[in-house]
């Protein structure tokens, strides 16, 4: 009760008061951020948890403390700062598990107690540094970040106006120095995906400066025009490539190109499904261009033999969601025959793999497996090496061989994975799932 009384003495400025964002600590040692908190008496406290609109209440004796976050621009007395910091220290010693939040709050209040010196000169020096630079994007980001750090540490808001003015000054200078480069890119007739990505990067950089709404709108409209032209050209190029080749390989090339186009323009495509609709149209055209194939299996080319096999084994084909790896659906996998139990000490399972786009040369593949564990949140994941295989007309076959003792009696979801080549040298290898899982109950060894 002494702690509650002390907190009330510091926080309650009147019988009816209201605070902004605060951190409430209950007598049970639970912490909750609230967007507002008030009290009508010294008995009941009312608060609205962040992310909610419903007001809640609690008996004051159930509350160990209410710590307000520092309000930007408000001036605090030395006594307010000292009393609040002291209360935070007491709560931190009493409730160890809440120290992370309490220490962060304490740091905000301690900054008020010991304000940084020479801040005005630091702001001016940063502005001069940018003015003397080439005004490129790297320097702009560096100076802006340092300005924002000054603003973050300025808990009282004393230097807020000076920081804001400096940011507007360097933002305007950055925009003026780089607008010509942006205009040149945006007016270039190049409709390739690489050119569009370069334009988008340049526009994003320009918009990082302090611009007026008219300038932002002008940039957005120019980038949208570039995006529309890129999508139109990309869809037409994919269609013409298929019609010129009239082969499964030409279809796979076009399919991959549309996938790249979709990823590059996802934020700006109008309508949002424009590339998806073009992809389905490409599959329909491929049926005519590639007799004997259909493309209903995730866009993969299925021939007559594939369809016959799937009449028997479709329930074992790629349908299971992958829960433990990043997923990029590029393949459809199934056993060509109904799976059987292990024979002897080795479990052998053939798989046929159909691809929906051209695969990079020398890509490293493995077969993954997820095994559900009773009571566990995620399944166990295994990766097994398989012999290198040749891809022809979007088709490949491989056989998984593992010790029977590893899988005997298990329900396993098998799927195709590839090595992520974007991982830098020295970092841990990363694998990406390329197909959904083939659920197979591995019987007991004979």
Please count the CA atoms within 13 angstroms of the CA of 305 that sit on its side-chain side: 7
Please indicate, yes or no, if residue 385 is contained in any of the structural domains: yes
Q: Tell me the pLDDT of the chain averaged across its residues.
A: 87
Residue 112 has pLDDT above 70, yes or no: yes
Please indicate, yes or no, if residue 216 is contained in any of the structural domains: no
Residue where a domain terminates, one of 87, 113, 139: 113
247 phi, psi to nearest 5 deg: -130, 165
351, 335 in Cβ contact below 8 A?
yes
Cα dihedral: 145, 150, 151, 152 (round 10): 90
355, 331 in Cβ contact below 8 A?
yes
135, 174 in Cβ contact below 8 A?
yes
Tokens encoding 266: 């996802």
Residue where a domain terminates, one of 64, 81, 113: 113
Which of 150-154, 212-216, 393-397, 414-418 has the lowest average pLDDT? 150-154
User: What's the pLDDT score for residue 40?
Assistant: 65
Domain ranges, residue 324: 304-441
Please indicate, yes or no, if residue 349 is contained in any of the structural domains: yes
Residue 257 has pLDDT above 90, yes or no: yes
Distance separating alpha carbons of residues 94 and 76, to the nearest angstrom: 26
pLDDT tens figures, 195-208: 999 999 999 888 87
298, 330 in Cβ contact below 8 A?
no
352, 335 in Cβ contact below 8 A?
yes
pLDDT tens figures, 131-174: 999 998 889 989 988 888 787 677 667 888 899 899 989 988 99
Residue 338 has pLDDT above 90, yes or no: yes
Please indicate, yes or no, if residue 142 is contained in any of the structural domains: no
Q: How far is CA 361 from CA 173, 298, 330, 365, 393, in A?
A: 46, 22, 15, 11, 15
Q: How far is CA 102 from CA 56, 57, 58, 68, 116, in A?
A: 22, 22, 21, 11, 22
The alpha carbons of the chain give a radius of gyration, in whole angstroms, of 31
Which one has a higher pLDDT value, 338 or 2? Answer: 338
Please indicate, yes or no, if residue 323 is contained in any of the structural domains: yes
Residue 4 has pLDDT above 80, yes or no: no
Residue from 344, 331, 295 nearest 432 by CA? 331
Please indicate, yes or no, if residue 272 is contained in any of the structural domains: no
Residue 147's contacts (CB-CB under 8 Å, 6 or more residues apart) are: 123, 126, 163, 166, 167, 170
pLDDT tens figures, 281-321: 999 999 999 999 999 999 999 999 999 999 999 999 999 99
User: What's the pLDDT score for residue 85?
Assistant: 84
Please indicate, yes or no, if residue 120 is contained in any of the structural domains: no
User: What's the pLDDT score for residue 155?
Assistant: 64
84 phi, psi to nearest 5 deg: -65, -45
Residue where a domain terminates, one of 80, 113, 146: 113
Please indicate, yes or no, if residue 19 is contained in any of the structural domains: yes
User: What's the pLDDT score for residue 28?
Assistant: 87
User: What's the pLDDT score for residue 230?
Assistant: 97
Distance separating alpha carbons of residues 213 and 218, to the nearest angstrom: 9
Return the ∠ at Cα 313 (arms to 412 and 320), rounded to 5°: 40
Distance separating alpha carbons of residues 199 and 206, to the nearest angstrom: 11
Q: Report the number of distinct structural domains present in the chain.
A: 2
297, 331 in Cβ contact below 8 A?
no
The H-assigned helical ranges of 63-118 are: 78-94, 99-113
Residue from 402, 413, 414, 416 nearest 445 by CA? 402
């Amino acid at each position: 009760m002494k702690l509650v009384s002390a907190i009330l003495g510091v926080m309650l400025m009147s019988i009816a008061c209201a605070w902004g964002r605060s951190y409430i600590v209950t007598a049970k040692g639970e912490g909750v951020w609230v967007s507002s908190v008030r009290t009508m008496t010294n008995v009941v406290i009312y608060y609205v948890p962040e992310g909610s609109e419903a007001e809640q209440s609690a008996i004051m004796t159930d509350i160990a403390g209410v710590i307000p976050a520092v309000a930007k621009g408000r001036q605090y007395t030395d006594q307010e700062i000292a009393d609040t910091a002291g209360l935070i220290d007491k709560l931190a010693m009493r409730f160890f598990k809440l120290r992370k939040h309490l220490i962060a709050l304490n740091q905000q209040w301690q900054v008020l107690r010991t304000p940084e010196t020479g801040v005005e000169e630091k702001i001016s020096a940063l502005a001069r540094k940018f003015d003397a630079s080439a005004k490129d994007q790297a320097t702009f980001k560096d100076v802006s970040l340092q300005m924002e750090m000054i603003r973050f540490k300025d808990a009282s808001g004393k230097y807020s106006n000076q920081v804001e003015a400096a940011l507007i000054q360097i933002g305007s200078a950055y925009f003026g120095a780089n607008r010509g480069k942006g205009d040149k890119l945006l007016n270039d007739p190049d409709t390739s995906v690489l050119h569009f990505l370069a334009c988008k990067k340049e526009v994003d950089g320009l918009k990082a400066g302090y611009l007026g709404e008219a300038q932002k709108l002008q940039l957005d409209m120019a980038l949208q025009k570039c995006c529309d032209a890129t999508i139109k050209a990309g869809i037409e190029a994919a269609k013409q490539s298929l019609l010129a080749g009239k082969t499964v390989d030409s279809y796979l090339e076009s399919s991959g190109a549309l996938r790249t186009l979709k990823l590059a323009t996802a934020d700006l495509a109008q309508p949002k499904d424009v590339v998806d609709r073009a992809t389905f149209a490409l599959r329909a055209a491929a049926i005519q261009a590639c007799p004997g194939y259909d493309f209903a299996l995730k866009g993969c080319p299925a021939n007559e033999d594939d369809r016959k096999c799937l009449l028997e084994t479709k329930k074992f084909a790629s349908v299971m969601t992958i829960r433990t790896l990043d997923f990029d659906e590029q393949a459809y996998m199934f056993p060509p025959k109904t799976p059987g139990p292990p024979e002897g000490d080795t479990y052998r399972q053939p798989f046929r793999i159909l691809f929906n786009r051209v695969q990079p040369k020398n890509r490293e593949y493995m077969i993954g497996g997820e095994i559900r564990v009773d009571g566990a949140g995620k399944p166990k994941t295994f990766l097994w090496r398989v012999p290198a295989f040749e891809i022809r007309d979007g088709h490949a076959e491989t056989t998984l061989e593992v010790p029977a003792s590893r899988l005997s009696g298990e329900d396993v979801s098998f799927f195709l994975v590839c090595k992520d080549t974007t991982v830098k040298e020295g970092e841990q290898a990363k694998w990406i799932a390329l197909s959904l899982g083939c659920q197979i109950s591995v019987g007991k060894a004979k």
